[in-house]
Amino acid sequence: MKTQSFNPYLPSWEYVPDGEPHVFGDRVYLFGSHDRFNGNTYCLNDYVCWSAPIDDLSDWKYEGVIYRGNQDPNFTIYPKPDFMEKHTLYAPDVTKGPDGRYYLYYAFDFIGIISVAVADKPEGPYEFYGDVHYKDGDLYGKKPEDDFAFDPGVLTDEDGSVWLYSGFGSEEIMRMSGNHTSETGCDCIELESDMVTIKTNPCKIIPGRANSKGTPFEGHEFYEASSIRKFDGVYYFIYSSILSHELAYAYSTEGPNKGFVYGGSLHSNGNIGYKGNTKALMYWGNNHGSIERINGKFYIFGHRQTNYHEFSRQGIAEEIHMNENRQFEMAEMTSCGLNGKPLKGKGTYGANIACVLYAKEGACKITEIKDKTKHPCFTQTGEDRMCDPDQYIHNLNDGTVAGFKYFDFDQPSKLTVCMKAEAEGTMEVYTDLNENPVCIISVLPSENRKEFTAEIKPVQGTHALYFIWRSKGTTDFFSFTIAS
């Protein structure tokens, strides 16, 4: 790769959650919704696309805005929710249709229908095409028996058939949309070759909380974030479970609309569940993403939370392994992500690539923080889309842990941290939190960013780095430098 790759994998000023990666030709294209830094609700910006060569996942290219909400006539036809300034474009998906064109499926916030845009190239630009509807012309999502239409996933199979997946696990939202059924879960719908007309009526493929009791899905029921993939004849349905932070999956060898069995957890943006861990190692929130095979390897794409809320989310990704039974093993949340190996054990790294972050009292769901003064967060200087990587960790209190995984060390001699501290303190540095620190850096208070250096004990091989702040005052943590 030209450079190393980190998490988040896009520039630190970019906020593209709900990532749907697709390989078209020799590039992987990343589609998703588009949050605004410090926004007051989800998905305030228009759709953008990023792409990278399949053989260099560090070299992401900004393809620009590919679709704007006001291109859709529904933007003005339907009244917007009272609590929103405008209709917003929620999580989309893209497929290459049988005609060779690219179709973008999406839903506006809580309108409850699925719309489609079309383009000649995966990176667009896309133009409005139509709304998914029944043969009688009724829109999907508007019949009383329909589930709430939300978070579409779409697959064009090898035989040219087109399959749409949609659903939402919130019974409250379903009631608000006029739906009266008590059954929740994900719908699967076959579409005609025109890509918008329903060919076969919706059928449930996995259950939601209302109808999961006694099934293997219990405790990991479908909530939202439908996504579908097919690898080597097996269908994999990826979704966000009722746990919110968890991406889980079901798989089927019988077809795109039947025979799905629970597969397990794939990813947690709190790193909860990995190797049996029950403690949140990161401030967590909703999750949405999918798996893609890129240049022979599998990767899981999800997102993390920043800025003390769920409205400025960033894409993160990890390599994920398929076992001999063609089932996926849960991926760990790391700083090196798409890099394919540990990061170099020398050089300067932004604090924003931390994959572990929690206060002395622990981490929690980001929306459940009661006192922000007691907890850290990822944030940035400036406004949205500043196009200048300036993200950092704000408000480390005494005992706050920031962790980075993993580095390949060859006995570095010095470690430098860039801080802005309110009071004198020390930064303790560990490769293992159960062992003694390998470095202790004295930090003085300063009104601006300032660097502080100390010697580090010899470290060899692959290790994590954990920083623990000790002080009566708080600090902002910008970067650290490992030197030989």
3-state secondary structure of 29: strand
CA-based end-to-end distance of the chain: 23
What's the average model confidence in pLDDT over 166-192?
A: 76
For residue 385, what pLDDT is reported? 83
Catalytic entry in 72, 146, 224, 292: 224
Contact, 227 vs 216, CB < 8 A? no
CATH value of 344-483 in 3.30.70.100, 2.60.120.260, 3.40.50.1820, 3.40.50.1100: 2.60.120.260
- Least reliable range by pLDDT among 80-94, 355-369, 432-446: 80-94
Task: Specify the pLDDT at position 313.
Answer: 98
**Does the pLDDT of residue 151 top 60, yes or no?**
yes
Is 90 exceeded by the pLDDT of residue 439? yes
Amino acid at 327: Q
Q: What is the pLDDT of residue 482?
A: 98
Residues 322, 292 contacting (CB under 8 angstroms): no
Q: Is the pLDDT of residue 245 over 60?
A: yes
**Distance between CA atoms of residues 347 and 350, nearest Å:** 10
Name which of 50-59, 305-314, 385-394 the model is least confident about. 385-394
Q: Kindly report, residue by residue over 447-468, the tens digit of the pLDDT.
A: 999 999 999 999 999 999 999 9
Within 8 A by CB and 6+ apart from 227, the residues are 20, 93, 153, 165, 237, 238, 239, 288, 289, 290
349 to 111, 135, 245, 410, 429: CA distances (angstroms)? 43, 56, 26, 17, 15
- Given the residues 14, 18, 109, 318, select the one marked as catalytic: 18
* 342 SS3 class: coil
- Predicted pLDDT at 87: 96
Each residue of 348-401: pLDDT tens digit? 999 999 999 999 999 999 999 999 999 999 999 988 987 887 899 999 999 999
pLDDT of residue 175: 64
> pLDDT tens-digit profile of 265-300?
999 999 999 999 999 999 999 999 999 999 999 999
Here the tokens at position 105 are 């499926």
Cβ–Cβ under 8 Å, residues 51 and 123: yes
The answer to whether 19 and 30 have CB atoms below 8 angstroms apart is yes
pLDDT exceeds cutoff 60 at 98: yes
**pLDDT confidence band for 179 (50 / 70 / 90):** low
Is residue 352 a contact partner of residue 326, using CB atoms and an 8 Å limit? Answer: no
Q: What is the mean pLDDT of residues 92-119?
A: 97
pLDDT at position 306 is 98
Model pLDDT, residue 388:
80
Residue 374 has which token pair?
A: 């007691």
- Structure confidence at residue 436 as a pLDDT band (50, 70, 90): very high
Give the separation between CA 282 and CA 353, rounded to whole angstroms: 12
Can you give the residue ranges of every domain in the chain? 20-339, 344-483
Judged against a pLDDT cut of 90, whether residue 99 lies above it is answered with yes
Catalytic-residue membership of 131: no
Q: Strand pairing of 356-358 and 185-191? A: unpaired
- Domains 20-339 and 344-483 equal at CATH topology level: no
Q: What backbone torsions phi and psi does residue 76 show, to the nearest 5 degrees?
A: -110, -20
35 is a catalytic site residue:
no
**In the prediction, which pLDDT does 464 show?**
98
What is the residue-averaged pLDDT of the chain?
Answer: 95
Class of domain 20-339: mainly beta
